Structure 1
Amino acid sequence: MKAMRRVLIFGSMGSGKSTLAKRLGAVLNLPVIHLDSHFWRPNWVEPDRETWRAQQRELVQASEWIMDGNYSATLDERWPYADTVIFVDQPRLLCLWRVVKRRMMYHGRSRPDLAPDCPEKLDRVAFEFVWTYPKKRRPTMLKRLAEAKPPKLVFHLRGDAAIEQFLDDLSQIAA
């Protein structure tokens, strides 16, 4: 298998992108970039579009990384640099449960994969994102994956068992 040096991870909120990124980073010994921690400013303030694009152009210049997060409006800044793309495809209700669980776990404080001063919240926007993901965003991602050309590696991981198998397989190869 070709070496994975620049990996993009996508999926719904609550799908396990950040967890997979951390675990994959440990297996491959690669730095992990959580895009949420770069996007959000304190108190959930969004950067302007050009600032965010410029920040991503800078992030992708590193020779090695695992990057998790969607941000489809600026995917064109990251996609060409990735040698590997992973789509974490989880059931909607599981994603919703994980988002609610995360909200309870980090009540009143920021998650480790978020910027400081962004206390965990669960609002209507987050709920709608997860609920509409299968019909609104998933088809676009599947199309993009289908159109990805070699030498880009593409993995469509459907469910936790597929994620575990993927990590086990990589661990055996990396050992």
Structure 2
Amino acid sequence: MRKIILIGSGGSGKSTLARSLGEKLGYPVDHLDVLLWRSNWEAVSREEQLQIQHTLTSRDTWIIDGNYGGTLDLRVNAADTIIFLDLPRTLCLYRALRRTWRYRKIGRPDMAVDCPEKLSFDFLKWIWRFPIDKRPSILSKLTALSDKQIIHLTSRRAVKQFLQSLPET
């Protein structure tokens, strides 16, 4: 595990696990939400998204968290390890709501500057429908990858056990 991506629903714990992995493994961690947004929720151009991710994935070791389906193949192809956080949608919804409340007046550490935490019906709907709309295609993509280490975590306990199983650096 030297080049790791984390994917999963909003609220699944991608950023939290990425930070924990970075501390445990000593690898740099990049949160796509920090890099692919400018202030006031202005998205960077597709060309800039690709350039940023090419730069990130050219390093010897890295951890990148974020879905961004339009550029997922770039990260999948460069990664040697893909971690899919496939947690229950009720847990993901709860975490998204809790995160919104926690960061309601301050910026999130894994979000671009001047992008205040917000919660919309569309985001909640995306989380709720993730198992129906996104999960099947993710599982299909992961099943087709024979040359990658796939780590499919489906519970908080599995995430904790995975972290505990890693050697200290």
Q: Please indicate the TM-score interval, normalised by the length of the shorter structure.
A: over 0.9
Say which of 161, 165, 169 aligns to 1:165.
Answer: 161
- CA distance, structure 2, for counterparts of residue 146 and residue 168 of structure 1: 25
The Cα RMSD (Å) is: 1.1
1:115-134 matches, within 5 Å, as: 115-134=112-131
**What's the counterpart of residue 112 of structure 1?**
109
Say which of 61, 64, 84 aligns to 1:64.
Answer: 61
**What's the counterpart of residue 40 of structure 1?**
37
Q: By how many angstroms is 1:125 displaced?
A: 2.3
Stretch of structure 1 that moved more, 157-166 or 44-53 = 44-53
Q: By how many angstroms is 1:79 displaced?
A: 1.3
Q: Could you list the runs of 5+ residues in structure 1 that have no partner in the other structure?
A: none
- CA distance, structure 2, for counterparts of residue 28 and residue 69 of structure 1: 19
Sequence identity (%): 45
Q: Which string of whole-angstrom CA distances, capped at 9 and with x for unpartnered residues, describes residues 71-122 of structure 1?
A: 0111122111101000001101110010010000001321000111001000
Stretch of structure 1 that moved more, 132-141 or 72-81 = 72-81
1:13-162 matches, within 5 Å, as: 13-150=10-147, 152-162=148-158
Contact 1:7 1:65 (C-alpha < 8 Å) held by counterparts: yes
TM-score (norm 2): 0.96
Q: Which string of whole-angstrom CA distances, capped at 9 and with x for unpartnered residues, describes residues 117-137 of structure 1?
A: 001000122112101100000
Q: By how many angstroms is 1:159 displaced?
A: 0.7
Q: Could you list the runs of 5+ residues in structure 2 that have no partner in the other structure?
A: none
SS at match of 1:154: strand
SS at match of 1:33: strand
- CA distance, structure 2, for counterparts of residue 125 and residue 116 of structure 1: 22
SS at match of 1:119: coil
Contact 1:15 1:89 (C-alpha < 8 Å) held by counterparts: yes
Q: Which string of whole-angstrom CA distances, capped at 9 and with x for unpartnered residues, describes residues 28-65 of structure 1?
A: 11111111100111000111212211211111111111
